[in-house]
């Protein structure tokens, strides 16, 4: 409440006006805080990304998995096969269609050179669409 000194009496009269100065000060401080914080809250990096006209590759109904186990045994699907008969088994399973995508999965303990040997076996059988399969998860696992 504010008081006003009157001319005559010595009594303090009541003033009905609201002092808005503290309110304005608070609003200006908040305005400055938001003006500083707003650009920091948005991460906006302009990048010119290239556009692709490629359509997503359709998934095969029955994918062909080639597995290289830790003991270097080969399997097509769930059936183990010898390296000598590998190409014939692969052609039999894919009905001779060399355009079939072959999904290659290998144990973590398998040497990279052995993995490349199996990839060469697949390529020598006439299959050029080879994809490596891994587990999706946290890095370092």
Please tell me the pTM assigned to this model. Answer: 0.54
DSSP letter (8 states) at residue 7: S
Query: What is the sign of the dihedral through the CA atoms of 114, 115, 119 and 121?
Result: positive
First to last CA, the chain: 69
Confidence class for position 20, pLDDT limits 50, 70, 90: confident
Condensed to tens digits (0 to 9), the pLDDT of residues 47-63 reads 555 666 666 566 667 78
Q: What is the DSSP letter of 62?
A: S
Write the DSSP string, 26-51. HHHHHHHHHHHHHHHH-------PPP
Show the tokens assigned to 90.
Answer: 């692969």
Lookup: tokens for 141? 């696992």
pLDDT attached to residue 53 = 67
- Is there a contact between 97 and 60 (Cβ–Cβ < 8 Å)? no
CB 66 within 8 A of CB 90: yes
Q: Which residue has the tokens 């270097």?
A: 72
What is the average pLDDT score of the chain?
Answer: 79
Q: How far apart are CA 122 and CA 11, in angstroms?
A: 106
89: its two tokens: 């088994």
pLDDT of residue 52: 61
Q: What is the pLDDT of residues 70-99, one digit of tens each?
A: 888 888 888 888 888 888 888 988 888 888
Rounded to 5 degrees, φ, ψ at 61 are -70, -45
Token pair 């269609």 is found at 97
- Which run of H or E residues covers position 5? strand 2-5
């Amino acid at each position: 409440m504010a008081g006003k000194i009157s001319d005559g009496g010595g009594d303090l009269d009541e003033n009905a006006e609201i002092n808005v100065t503290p309110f304005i000060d608070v609003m200006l401080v908040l305005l400055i805080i938001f003006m500083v914080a707003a650009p920091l809250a948005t991460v906006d990096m302009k990048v010119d990304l290239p556009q692709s006209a490629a359509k997503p590759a359709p998934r095969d109904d029955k994918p062909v998995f080639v597995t290289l186990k830790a003991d270097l045994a080969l399997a097509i699907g769930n059936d183990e096969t010898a390296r000598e008969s590998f190409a014939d088994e692969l052609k039999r399973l894919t009905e001779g269609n060399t355009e079939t995508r072959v999904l290659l999965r290998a144990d973590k303990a398998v040497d990279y050179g052995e993995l490349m040997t199996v990839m060469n076996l697949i390529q020598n059988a006439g299959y050029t669409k080879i994809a490596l399969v891994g587990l999706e998860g946290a890095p370092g696992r």
